[in-house]
Structure 1
Amino acid sequence: MLNILSGLIGLVTLIFMIPALFPLLGALNWLLVPVALIGAFVGMLSSRNSGRNFCLTVAAFGALRLFLGGGIF
Structure 2
Amino acid sequence: MGLISILWGIVAMVWMVLALIPLVGITNWLLIPFAAIGAIVAAIGMAVTSAGKRGRAKTGLVLNCVVIVVATWRLGLGGGLI
Report the TM-score, using the length of structure 2 for normalisation: 0.81
Q: Aligned equivalents of 1:5 and 1:42: distance in 2?
A: 8
The corresponding residue for 2:11 is 12
Tell me how far apart the structure 2 counterparts of residues 65 and 41 of structure 1 sit (CA, whole Å): 22
Q: Mapping of 1:1-73 within 5 angstroms?
A: 2-47=1-46, 48=54, 49-73=58-82
AA partner of residue 9 (structure 2): G
Higher helix share: 2
Which segments of structure 1 move beyond 4 Å, counting only runs of 4 or more? none
- Unpaired segments ≥5 residues, structure 2: 47-53
- RMSD (Å) for aligned C-alpha atoms: 1.0
Provide the identity percentage.
40
Name the aligned partner's letter for residue 11 of structure 1: I
Number of residue-to-residue matches in the alignment: 72
Larger Rg: 2
